[in-house]
Copies of this chain bind each other. A is one copy, B any other.
């Protein structure tokens, strides 16, 4: 959005639900009535409903359900995160774009967001269903002063941040499945994919990809996902503002990363554990090398999962796929919840 259009939108928004007279707009923007009219038309084309009433002026009625940078910025209470936004109506993968931007020096807190991802990616090279307007598909570039070996907890932080944002905006309670899935009523509602670029002694950047299913109708999920995926709409029975969710997420992330850098992970890990449905459960952890069954007894200070088998042998996992195995007949023990 160009500056004048953005300025006009800000003016209308500040005064809404009142009218702004045509004279005021012309004066504020320093352009002619004809130019103002052109910008109004352009905002309308972008989905803003603007009333134009003779002798009254202009009035903003509704804003579109879009994650435009102007919408994200409006009311955003962060210092850095999400202050630079790269917006796409359609994008193959926000993580891929973020990687490009980060490699070219995009600053800490840069956000890439798309209304739709045509090649959204999940963990372990899986896909992520990302239909137009259905959710928050975004990637956040952060540059904390860390060593590569210290990065792992960022996934925990992100899970806590999304959980808080969902709670704040919808009142819904989601649970965390190790390592980084958020579940609503046992089905996946959010996935997190973290990537980094680093030298041995410093992290260049971290990209936190986040896909949150917001307003997707249950029957719009592909058949193979229907049993395992859900959306906030499906769980809460109504639509929610994607923009508000994204803003809350950015605010929570900024707060949590700052706290992590300042005070360490302890409190955040405690909050994570409090909402983790993996701990204390019978699990099967599948890695590329093996399967290991036991009880998930702890999550360590870097986010690693500790599983104890029947013989009392403890194993620590940094990666892997967890199947919650209790309360399931053996036949189904391989199926993810």
Contacts and interface: CB of A to CB of B under 8 A. Distances in A.
Interface of A: 99, 103, 123-124, 145, 147-149, 151-152, 154-155, 179-180, 193-202, 204, 288, 302-303, 318-320
A195 B198 contact: yes
Contacts of A124: 201
Q: A99, A145, A152, A199 — which one has the most chain B CB atoms within 10 A of its CB?
A: A199
Q: How many copies does the complex hold?
A: 2
Contacts of A201: 123-124, 179, 318-320
Contacts of A200: 151-152, 154-155, 179-180, 194, 303, 318-319
Nearest to A196: B198
| Main secondary structure on A side of the interface with B | mixed
A148 B198 contact: yes
Contacts of A123: 199, 201
A203 to B, nearest CB: 9
Nearest to A287: B201
A147 B318 contact: yes
Contacts of A147: 318-319
A204 B196 CA distance: 10
7 contacts: A148-B149, A148-B151, A180-B200, A196-B197, A198-B198, A201-B318, A201-B319
A119 B308 CA distance: 51
Give the top 7 A-B pairs by smallest Cβ distance, nearest first. A201-B319, A149-B149, A148-B148, A194-B200, A147-B318, A195-B199, A155-B200
